[in-house]
Amino acid sequence: MRLSKMFLPTLKESPATAEVVSHKLMLRAGMIRKLAAGVYSLLPMGVRSLRKVEAIVRSEMNRAEAEEVSMPVVIPSELWKESGRWDLYGKELLRLKDRHGREFCLGPTHEEVITDMVRGELRSYKQLPVNLYQIQTKFRDEVRPRFGLMRGREFVMKDAYSFHATDECAEREYEVMRRAYMNIFERCGLEFCVVEADSGSIGGSFSHEFMVLADTGEDAVASCTKCDYAANTERAELRSVESFKTSDDKKIVEVSTPGVKTIDEVSEFLKADPKSFIKTLIYEADDNVVVVLLSGYSDVNELKLKRILDVDTLELASDATIEEVTGAPVGFAGPVGLKDKEVKIYADWSVRDIPSAITGANKKDTHIENVSPERDFKAEYVDLRIAVEGDLCPRCEGGRFEIRRGIEVGHIFKLGTKYSEAMGAVFLNENGKERPMIMCCYGIGIGRTAAAAIEQNHDEAGIMWPRPLAPFDCHIIPVNMKDEGCVGAAEALYNSLKEEGLDVLLDDRKDRAGVKFNDADLIGIPVRVTIGPKTLKEGSLELKLRKETDARLIPKDKAVEEVMAALNGL
């Protein structure tokens, strides 16, 4: 491609609204432009780079013998009503009506459509398994889209769905896909890790996320320093505490704490360590009220709580409910004495580790000291906290958690029969018995992967594309467009490299060298060849890798081989 003819509007300054590096650089490098919140157009440079991601994804999916299909973006509401998600999915599902008033939605994910596609067609265990995928635009009306392609409302996703006759078969395919995903992200040149994850509203029995490690990541990953356990912190299990720490038998005493409510305030007021507090939270779960206890320094993991309670909705109780349950204003709740009120108390394991605790007294302006969990209240002990740095690993002896930030670029789920049962996707097994198909699904954010690659590969001057994702392989810069030798050599190299099958960018604009160099650094093509009159006189050109600071001279008549060699070394 000739840069003089390319639609490549680069920017010197970052638009004010961009916050993260990948977003800023994608805007500056002329890859994307915003149309509305979370909705972007891809410019030629953006398309090129996303196509590279798609090509890698497609080739690995095909190699794993999944088959490509293409499903509609506009989906009739009936399918979503069948699965039950029309009512459960919430506002993220963009709903619309056609001219007849029939309801549709824009597909945020395609379990319903694919299930509808195979049911009726696949009737026998002999026709299973199948694995179908597509690369397609999705729409999710996110509450807060941000960071450009990282979290858009409209985005390109590769989604795959497999159908099986048996659990074993489903799990085998899950493993095949896990490997395919590892190949994909390795081929993209990304530093990533695979973690256990929560399956969220998509449902299912287990799932793994593929996380590109980057400080700007929206997810936190806990990984063991000793064994290979790694999980999203919203999922990470913690080591259980089986026995109570013995208390020293002091009697409970009330202390007056006028107007002092939060753990910080009370610990300051009583000159007590926050670790000796039991934090009491009151939740409304579906239609019930539950009380949750944690050690004073930890935070509740609402996903774990939701799973334990097996409820759809969970939120902190209103002030009125808290007063009703505890008999005291907000800020003085505690577990002691609550047993009369028919509320279920769940305590995190960490509470067992506090022999003599301070809690609210369920009485205005009052706390109590010397509370002994075993002696003074009954609770069900479960894993409820969010994992933090230094927590003990649940899987090995002596390992501890390390917490890092990650960008979720891929997610695979074993769904089980959630959709096949709801939608009647059944087959006949060897015994002629009707059974729901076992399903798995597998997703990759294409644009997000490209964005994550930039987060991981950039410097002050711009993008440093990993070769496999780069919009072009080689960038040729004739330094002076009025120098015939210079232009001639550039044209010749441009043509030869194209003949080698490379994607080549020739900066044939009549601009000064500085402009070209700065744009080159910004758009980040991995190999750059500079052709200037000075070195040309000696029969050489300059070859520079974007990731290295220094250029080296190469003989003009060996230029093609040198460029190929440099690319192969990347």
Partner RNA sequence: CGGGGCGUAGCGCAGCCUGGUAGCGCGCCUGCUUUGGGAGCAGGAUGUCGGAGGUUCGAAUCCUCUCGCCCCGACCA
Contacts with RNA, residue ranges (CB under 7 A):
10-17, 19, 34, 36-38, 92, 108-109, 140, 142-147, 157, 199-202, 218, 302, 315, 408, 410-411, 443, 445, 448, 461, 479-482, 512-515, 517-522, 530-536, 542, 544, 551
Distances (CA, A) of 199 to 194, 440, 491: 14, 12, 53
Beta carbon nearer to RNA, 371 or 384: 384
In whole angstroms, the minimum distance from the beta carbon of 496 to RNA comes to: 19
Alpha carbon distance 147, 338 (integer Å): 46
Residues 6+ away with beta carbon under 8 Å from 228: none
Structure tokens at 543: 């070859």
Alpha carbon distance 220, 463 (integer Å): 25
In whole angstroms, the minimum distance from the beta carbon of 44 to RNA comes to: 17
In whole angstroms, the minimum distance from the beta carbon of 146 to RNA comes to: 4
Beta carbon nearer to RNA, 242 or 550: 550
Alpha carbon distance 489, 555 (integer Å): 12
In whole angstroms, the minimum distance from the beta carbon of 542 to RNA comes to: 5
In whole angstroms, the minimum distance from the beta carbon of 140 to RNA comes to: 6
DSSP state of 546: T
Residue type at position 84 = G
DSSP state of 200: G
Question: What's the burial of 228, exposed, middle or buried (CB within 10 Å: 0-12/13-18/19+)?
Answer: exposed
User: How far is Cα of residue 556 from the mean position of the Cα atoms in its chain?
Assistant: 46
Beta carbon nearer to RNA, 198 or 376: 198
Q: How many CB atoms lie within 10 A of CB 97?
A: 10
In whole angstroms, the minimum distance from the beta carbon of 181 to RNA comes to: 12
Beta carbon nearer to RNA, 310 or 315: 315
Beta carbon nearer to RNA, 160 or 368: 160
Question: What's the burial of 353, exposed, middle or buried (CB within 10 Å: 0-12/13-18/19+)?
Answer: middle
Please, how many CA atoms are within 13 Å of residue 375, restricted to the half-sphere of its CB? Answer: 15
Residue 260 contacts residue 244 (beta carbons within 8 Å): no
Beta carbon nearer to RNA, 81 or 378: 81
Residue 469 contacts residue 453 (beta carbons within 8 Å): yes
In whole angstroms, the minimum distance from the beta carbon of 507 to RNA comes to: 10
Beta carbon nearer to RNA, 373 or 416: 416
In whole angstroms, the minimum distance from the beta carbon of 559 to RNA comes to: 13
Beta carbon nearer to RNA, 16 or 320: 16
Residue 209 contacts residue 198 (beta carbons within 8 Å): no
Label each residue of 135-187 as H, E or C: EEEEECCCCCCECHHHECCEEEEEEEEEEECCHHHHHHHHHHHHHHHHHHHHH
Beta carbon nearer to RNA, 201 or 246: 201
Beta carbon nearer to RNA, 260 or 300: 300
Structure tokens at 146: 């941000």
In whole angstroms, the minimum distance from the beta carbon of 82 to RNA comes to: 18
Q: Which residue has the tokens 């003085």?
A: 332
Beta carbon nearer to RNA, 315 or 340: 315
Label each residue of 328-357 as H, E or C: CCCCCCCCCCHHHCCCEEEEEHHHHHCCCE
In whole angstroms, the minimum distance from the beta carbon of 192 to RNA comes to: 14
Alpha carbon distance 281, 303 (integer Å): 15
In whole angstroms, the minimum distance from the beta carbon of 235 to RNA comes to: 12
In whole angstroms, the minimum distance from the beta carbon of 138 to RNA comes to: 7
Structure tokens at 363: 């009485």
Q: How many CB atoms lie within 10 A of CB 540?
A: 19
Beta carbon nearer to RNA, 156 or 272: 156
